[in-house]
Structure 1
Amino acid sequence: MIDKPFSLACENNKRPILAVLARVFDRPGTVLEIGSGTGQHGVFFAEGLPHLQWQPSDRAENIPGMSLWFAEAALPNLLPPLVLEVTQPRWPVGQYRGVFTANTLHIMAWPEVKAMFAGLERVLAPGAAVCIYGPFNYEGRFTSSSNRAFDAMLQSQNPHMGIRNIEDVTALAGQHGLTLQADHAMPANNRLLVFNSV
């Protein structure tokens, strides 16, 4: 018997994120969520953005837990979750008007981050938007003491994890046809970066 997973961080940040997503994803289309985790974001955003088809995805081991949230919500625009490993050479077939991912770049190893951006280039429709939520450093510096402590905790768990420099992420995005359009301040020293594809 699987218990329905729960993330307090998702509960705390979902409303500020939705306020931005509602402006960015303002037209009908399908949005791919990479790293859907517990599934809480998927339910909340699909409910708050009924003009969208919301496509959750994650590693196979996270699908059963999030599916409990999705079954309970029973939203017509919340699609069945896809198994997605960003490093796999072929992603599930689809062309998306938008992509959203939260708290993934500091968990992935940098080669995985690079693989994610390469994959995005293959599945984004022209003019699509990519929204990336999480903590970022600027010019190699932490924006708060809490982010410094969080980074140290991540590194103690696994040396490949850590808060990324926004300059590195922006440069990598540019290599795959994405331009930074907005950098929104979020609660708890996080940011929401909005990229547009050509």
Structure 2
Amino acid sequence: MNTLDAIAALPDGAITSPAARRNADAILGVLRAHLPAKGSVLEIASGSGEHAVVFVGALPGLDWTPSDPSADARNSIAVWGALAGASCLEAPLALDAADEATWPSRTYDAVFCANMTHISPWSATEGLMRLAGARLRRPGGLLLLYGPYREADRPLAQSNQAFDDSLRTRNPAWGLREREAVDALARTHGLAATRRVEMPANNLMLLFRRL
């Protein structure tokens, strides 16, 4: 989970992210409403691991598998999980959405990804959709994406425009994605857009179901 917010490393090796603390409750509300009471969830780009610990603690019927390509992030996830005594939190995977060789072989009831699509090349979003199409159980497996998006029928908030400009300055391959393009990409991998939820700070939660 990456928002480009300042993060701090704690003495025990964990990372703490202000963004994760700010938005965890709002995201949890959507997860609680739409995830099954029991099942398995794969989280892509888990970052510090603070989200995963909050969610698995509040949704004890779910086996939650975090992942991140960063070794520092995976260490932080493990530390937060140990501190919380989160027995349903699986060991973090070294998963890169764009690299199929790193994907797990098992299937999941849901895939969750926060704040990755805009802070990565488009190839990462393409990989995420391929992964969800291949690893979500059918029918009805759920993909949830959280973050800011551009929308053709709605003006872009000034804060999101400034964020987009900052991202593209840092890396021309980054930037807020067009929601319609994300929906179209999902369809090519057997995923139907089913719900758009407005979230605080001009973010969205996009829900897709495996057909």
Look up the equivalent residue of 2:34 and give its one-letter code. Answer: V
Task: Tell me if structure 2 keeps the 8 A contact 1:142–1:148.
Answer: no
1:111 CA drift (Å) = 1.7
Say if 1:2 and 1:59 are closer, same or farther in 2 by CA, change over 3 A.
farther
TM-score for the superposition, normalised by structure 2: 0.90
Percent of aligned pairs with the same amino acid:
37
Give the Cα separation in 2 of the matches to 1:84 and 1:40. 18
**Aligned ranges 1:13-162 → 2 under 5 Å:** 13-61=23-71, 62-90=73-101, 91-126=103-138, 127-139=140-152, 143-162=156-175
Q: Measure, in 2, the Cα distance between the counterparts of 1:110 and 1:142.
A: 22
Once the two structures are overlaid, the 10-residue window that deviates more, 107-116 or 182-191, is 107-116
The structure-2 alpha-carbon separation of the partners of 1:104 and 1:142, relative to structure 1 and needing over 3 Å to count, comes to: farther
Shift of 1:27: 2.9
Contact 2:68 2:93 in 1 (8 A): yes
Work out the CA distance in 2 between the residues paired with 1:28 and 1:94.
17
| Alignment size in residue pairs | 198
> Is the Cα contact below 8 Å between 2:37 and 2:59 reproduced in 1?
no
Q: Which structure shows the bigger proportion of residues in strand conformation?
A: 1
| CA RMSD, Structure 1 to Structure 2 (Å) | 1.4
Q: Deviations over 1:13-44 (max 9, x none)?
A: 11111111011113311000000000000000
Is contact 1:140-1:165 (8 Å) kept?
no
Distance in 2, matches of 1:195 and 1:87, equals 19
- Displacement of 1:142: 5.0
What TM-score do you get using the length of structure 1 for normalisation? Answer: 0.96
Structure 2 residue identity aligned to 1:124: L
SS of equivalent residue, structure 1 residue 130: strand
Q: CA deviation at 1:131?
A: 0.5
How far apart are 1:140 and its partner, in Å? 8.1
Q: Which amino acid aligns with 1:130?
A: L
| Per-residue CA distance 1:125-169 (angstroms, 9 max, x = gap) | 011111100000111865200000000110111000000000000
**Could you list the runs of 5+ residues in structure 1 that have no partner in the other structure?**
none
CA distance in 2, matches of 1:140, 1:160: 24
What SS does the corresponding residue of 1:125 show, helix, strand or coil?
coil
Once the two structures are superposed, what CA deviation does each residue of 1:38-78 show, in whole Å capped at 9, x if it has no partner?
Answer: 00000000001111001101104221122111111111111
Q: Distance in 2 between matches of 1:60 and 1:5?
A: 12
CA contact (8 A) 1:35 1:59 kept: yes
